[in-house]
Amino acid sequence: MSQQHPSQSTPEQPPVAEPETAEMVTAGSVPPPPPAPETDTPASLRGRKARGDRLKATNPADEPRADRQAAKRKAARIWLAAAGVVLLAGGAVGGHFLTDPTRSEEYIALSEESAQRQSMLEKSQDDYSVMKEDYNKLSSGMYAREMKVGEREEAAAKAEADVEKRESAVSAAEKQKAADTISDGTWTVGTNVSPGTYTTAADVGSSCYWGIYRSGSNGDDILQNDLPGGGRPTVTLSEGQDFKSSRCGKWEKQ
């Protein structure tokens, strides 16, 4: 240790003010903090922001970590965007080199089958048109034939009606002729035969006999009789008489 000489005096240093401690600072010695600026932020958001500020103030070591995470997220977004661009470019380039589907064997086979079906359809349509035309011709011909058949049927019906009329006339004539014809036997005039003059239809033989009797006399009252022996004898008959012919053939009314 050095010894100070009495002749050398040490200059006095000014007193250094000691820092005021928390105990020494009184409420009246520190001015009040300025009021917080008014903002439009809701109280809930202001509270969250204040809590975030306190957390940052209390955890200063977390700030670099948050910056690193934000940088990572930004790098990831950049990487995804770049990957999308690459994929799009690759798809465009790859699509340029993709095989044309219209050149595949399946497509060609389906195209050929479709063409065959179209050809068959067109042929069927042509055949249908031809058949329809033939059908129309046949229908027209059938209609014409049906018209002719109808005309023939009408003509046949008319002819049949004429035939029936003629047959009726002939039948009536035959009936009349039958009524005006006398064969062998005994007949009552006015009942079995009609009155009139009768002659044999052919020459008679030698065995021919005819007789006229009063009707109802049973041949006892002879009015006229004869054995002509030949030729074509003639008799006149009246009502109220009976006429008998034997082996003379038929007598026809004149």
Query: Within 10 Å of residue 213's Cβ, how many Cβ atoms?
Result: 20
Cβ atoms of 254 and 237 within 8 Å: the answer is no
* Residue 93 in tokens: 């380039």
Q: Is 246 helix (H, G, I), strand (E, B) or coil?
A: strand
Question: Domain extents for the chain?
Answer: 102-179, 183-253
Integer Cα distance of 23 and 231 in angstroms: 200
Q: What is the pLDDT along the chain (254 residues), one digit of tens a residue?
A: 444 444 444 445 555 444 444 444 444 444 555 555 555 445 555 555 555 555 454 454 555 677 777 777 877 778 777 766 666 666 555 554 557 788 888 888 998 999 999 999 999 999 999 999 889 988 888 888 888 898 889 999 999 898 888 888 877 777 777 778 999 999 999 999 999 999 999 999 999 999 999 998 888 999 999 999 999 999 999 999 999 999 999 999 99
* Residue 36 in tokens: 């917080």
Cβ atoms of 240 and 202 within 8 Å: the answer is no
* Residue 197 in tokens: 């003059």
